[in-house]
Homo-oligomer: A and B are copies of this chain.
Amino acid sequence: MKVWELGEFGLIELIAETVGKAKRHDLVVGIGDDTAAWRVDKSIQLGTTDILIQNVHFTLDIATWRELGWKALAVNISDIAAMGGTPSFAMVSLGLPPETEVDNVVELYRGMKEIASKFDVDIVGGNISRAPVVIIDVSLIGKASGPLLTRSAAAPGDQIAVTGYLGLSAAGLKILKSKRKLDSKTIAFFREAHLRPHPKVAEGQVLVQHGVKAAIDLSDGLLGDLTHICKASRVGARVWMNKLPIHPLLKSAFKKESLRLALSGGEDYELLFTARSEIIAKLKDIMSSPVTVIGEIIGDEQGQVTLLDTQDKAVKWDETGWDHFKSPGLTKQ
């Protein structure tokens, strides 16, 4: 069997089986969450790694090198945010074709440095290799400042909520690829959404402080990431389609397609979380990002996400989230 036949998530399950149970007593969270977590003295350290590969995750005709640097670090910071942690140290494995311009490499690191400074992260090591395409693999260490947010803590009766808006990054990619004629302000807005995501570290901290237990960052798309929560927590989810936070600019630029982008478009790097309604009501008051309730967690239909229309009727929906080996596209969307 080939990996494209098994798919990304089947392969991850098989790898987890092969690796087997963790043995170290200082491990707190292993394979299957946004980051790993382990104890050091009285503290919890977090670790995550995420890679960007040219012509798989990005193309150089769309992104500048500085934007790539920003994004490579941003996607990792977002994983730390989704655990309720703060990022601290980054290491970078860089693969470069020998013909790469040195100036571009400097721009790449300027982009990383820019977001690193913003989040109090130091770039502390890494390595450089010759490679057939550009490869940027960032490993990021963080620490937990309180209890962890995990994918496995959603409980029946929880409301499901998201920060910010859905589908903007995927819309941005579409616009950048198609070179659609839109006014320059709108293009800049979508370009920023796709290439300079702002990880929700402060928001993750607020969630922890207010007793939220379950969260994930939106990288594979709402339906995909909510399915990850449902599987890890052994619960089901009902999502009200008319409640999804769709930005007015997305609606006006993409009309009907905006719903598909909001449900399945990936890489928004917002936080998706679940908690009791009274906690979420409080969060809506105090968070600077918009917080939108989009559904509820149920005890049955474990591992399933059901979409409901305005009459609470289940809607059939074919696409779920991004699968690295099954999805046909060149990049996530």
Contacts and interface: CB of A to CB of B under 8 A. Distances in A.
Interface of A: 1-6, 8, 11-12, 14-15, 18-20, 22-24, 26-27, 29-31, 33, 35-36, 38, 40-43, 45, 47-51, 53, 55-57, 88-89, 91-93, 95-96, 98-103, 105-106, 109-110, 112-113, 117, 120, 122-133, 135, 137, 139, 141, 143, 324-325
A2 B100 contact: yes
A132 B103 CA distance: 25
A133 to B, nearest CB: 6
Given A40-B40, A50-B93, A139-B139, A130 B18 contact: no
Given A91-B48, A135-B95, A15 B105 contact: yes
A123 B27 CA distance: 10
Contacts of A5: 102
A270 to B, nearest CB: 19
Given A12-B128, A56-B132, 13 more contacts: A2-B99, A3-B101, A4-B98, A22-B124, A40-B41, A40-B45, A47-B124, A47-B141, A49-B125, A53-B129, A95-B135, A128-B324, A141-B141
A164 B29 CA distance: 38
Given A11-B102, A102-B6, A113-B18, A89 B38 contact: yes
Given A91-B36, A105-B11, A113-B20, A125 B51 contact: no
Tallying the copies of this chain within the complex gives: 2
A110 B18 CA distance: 7
A57 B171 CA distance: 38
A47 B46 CA distance: 12
Most central of A11, A22, A41, A120 by chain B CB within 10 Å = A11
A122 B27 contact: yes
Contact of A22 (B29, B47, B92, B122): B122
Contacts of A50: 93, 127
A155 B276 CA distance: 62
Given A27-B122, A137-B51, A41 B43 contact: yes
